[in-house]
Amino acid sequence: MSKLPKPNKKSIIFEDDNVYACLAKYPITKGHTVVVSKKEFDDLSKMPDIYYDFLMDMVFAVRNSLIKTLKVKKVYLVYMDETNFVHWHLIPRYKEKGFNVFQQKTEFLKNFPLAEKIKKNLFFK
């Protein structure tokens, strides 16, 4: 049985057989995005290089799209593995800096028009 969460289809920015990127269900900031490996590894260290490289290429492509779409200078990349599946949180930085960004009140995201805007700026090298 898969441990992977099922994203709302309207929140998806990118998806293929290996990875999906979507807006976070409980965003810390506007544009908070999650990039998830569909290949089930419980830690980055257990991923073969080919999957790790593809995942990180996606993380950087989505980060660049967030920077362009939201007109921010920084996007924090956060990897935490308490959930036992490999995923990254991409958190755009606005006024708050450092750990203060994690003290923001979160609310369940119900609307996803931002996903389409981010998608339009997503490109791969």
Q: Are 30 and 109 a contacting pair, CB within 8 Å?
A: no
Side chain identity at residue 33, one-letter code: T
CB atoms inside a 10 Å sphere around CB 84: 10
User: Parallel, antiparallel, or unpaired: how do β-strands 75-79 and 33-37 relate?
Assistant: unpaired
pLDDT at 78: 95
Taking the C-alpha atoms of residue 124 and residue 113, their distance in angstroms, rounded to an integer, is 22
Predicted confidence at residue 125, as pLDDT, reads 54
In the chain, which stretches have pLDDT less than 70?
1-2, 125
Both tokens assigned to 115: 């996903």
CA distance 75 to 92: 4
pLDDT at position 1, please?
A: 44
Q: What is the pLDDT of residue 5?
A: 82
Q: Considering Cα of 63, then 18, then 3, then 41, what sign does the dihedral take?
A: negative
Q: Would the CA dihedral through 29, 103, 52, 19 be positive or negative?
A: negative
- What CATH number matches the domain at 9-96, 3.10.620.30, 3.40.50.11060, 3.30.428.10, 3.40.50.150? 3.30.428.10
Give the per-residue pLDDT at 33.
98
